[in-house]
Structure 1
Amino acid sequence: MNVLKAIPVLMLPIVLAVGCATPAYVEKDETTDFSRYKTYAWIDTDKKEGKNRHNNDFMKRNVHESVNARLQKEGWREDKTRPDVLISYDILVEKTTREQSNPVYSAPFRRVFYNPFYRRWGTIYYPSSFMGYDYGTAEVREGTLTVTMVDAKTDKTIWQGWTTDDVNSRNLTRKEIQSSVNSIFRKFYVVKR
């Protein structure tokens, strides 16, 4: 009986973690048989030279490590000589504005009064009350990570997953990349159908 009571308590962190994850979207080629794919290689799509090259190296390494870990968990392995699938990624960070609505409350206050019946002073406390919403816009940065799989023989896109989330700067951190990759590859089960 105690085990049945503990199950909801143990499931709560899992439900909260899944509920807080960023939404991910996946498209796949319906005519492709994914059971024949077991190896992959990365396509080098980053040819930029310049001042942000080292930051891009960090992001590239973080994306590769995160995706490699998820694919190896699925039973795939990296093969640079004769891969079945070629994988590429794209990161886009852009500024955008978002409408916000913030609740507005009145300030709490007290009123002091004299009670002639009891012949003493009393205090009445008035708590804050809801007044409405304050609408405005705020500038935010949104980062979009897209992972694309291409058949190495036919050069046809067979799977693509992407997610968008708020980020703090132009460069995504390791934690943000891992969160995005995990959100995308939670839907990798789509390929097994």
Structure 2
Amino acid sequence: MKTYSYKDKKVDLKQYKTYAWINLEHIEEDNRQGNKLYAKYILGLANQELIKKGFVLDVENPDAVFLFDTQIEKRIAYSQAPQVSVGIGMGGPGYYVGGAVPVAGGQISQKNYDEGVLFIEMYDTKTQNLLWRGWAQEEISYSTDLETDIQRAVQQIFMRLPVNHKGK
């Protein structure tokens, strides 16, 4: 799993102490339709991580709002097998002739796979400016333990949120 984040360099995130979520109606509707089956799970995990960082949920007048989304993207990876060569050499009195002849290898193979992406964004409620974005990407398949991967992704994303009100 790879995680990344972006923060507006001009903003001090320590001033944001309360939060709420936006697009919750969208999450409920997607969940009812069978889309975004893990939305409530992600929301619960994210709330736990924000509370650990000292944020307080305030749906009336929050300093910042968060939103999240998930995507599954089709990806293609290419790899090339190593080139294998055999050298041929001949020797004789006073001269040497040699060369290399490619025998095998160098084939390019293609692998199609799905990559799951979870991103979480933080916005200022007054300016609506993006303050911070964190996201995680990982190859997924039918054998992927989604609940474990989602839990790890949420934890790792919030580890990248550079604020901790409880650390004071």
Provide the TM-score with structure 1 as the length reference.
0.62
Q: Report percent identity of matched pairs.
A: 29
Please name the residue that 1:30 is paired with.
9
Q: Given the superposition, is the C-alpha separation of residues 143 and 151 from structure 1 closer, same or farther in structure 2, using an over 3 Å criterion?
A: same
The runs of 5 or more residues in structure 2 that have no matched partner are 83-103
Out of 139, 144, 147, the position equivalent to 2:120 is: 147
Contact 2:27 2:39 in 1 (8 A): no
Query: In structure 2, what residue type is equivalent to 1:144?
Result: V
Following superposition, the deviation at residue 64 of structure 1 comes to 0.6
1:68 equivalenced with 2:47 (yes/no): yes
* Match for residue 164 of structure 1 among 117, 137, 151: 137
Q: Which runs of 4+ in 1 moved over 6 A?
A: 131-134
> For the residues of structure 2 that align with 1:133 and 1:73, how far apart are their CA atoms?
51
Structure 1 portions without partners, runs of 5+: 1-21, 104-130
Cα root mean square deviation, aligned = 2.8
- Distance, in Å, in 2 between the alignment partners of 1:50 and 1:33 is 34
Q: Give the number of the structure whose residues are more often helix, by fraction.
A: 1
Amino acid at match of 2:77: R
Distance 1:31 1:142, change over 3 A: same
SS of equivalent to 1:162: strand
Q: Which moved more, 1:145-154 or 1:43-52?
A: 43-52
8 Å CA contact 1:88, 1:147 repeated in 2: yes
1:50–1:159 distance in 2 versus 1, CA, 3 Å: closer
> Deviation of residue 47 (structure 1)?
6.6
8 A contact 2:6–2:134 mirrored in 1: yes
**Secondary structure, counterpart of 2:11 in structure 1:** coil
Q: Tell me: CA distance 1:134–1:69, structure 2 relative to 1, closer, same or farther (3 Å).
A: farther
Q: Within 5 Å, give how 1:1-193 maps onto structure 2.
A: 22-44=1-23, 46=26, 53-56=33-36, 58-100=37-79, 135-168=108-141, 173-189=146-162, 191=163
2: CA distance between counterparts of 1:160 and 1:136?
A: 34
TM-score by length of 2: 0.71
How far off its partner does 1:173 sit? 2.4
CA contact (8 A) 2:31 2:39 kept: no
The CA deviation at 1:71 is 0.8
- Is the 1:40–1:87 contact (alpha carbons within 8 Å) kept by the matching residues of 2? yes
Aligned length: 141
Aligned AA for 1:74?
K
Partners of 1:188 and 1:61 in 2: how far apart? 21
Post-superposition offset of 1:48: 8.9
Q: 1:61 offset after TM fit, Å? A: 0.7
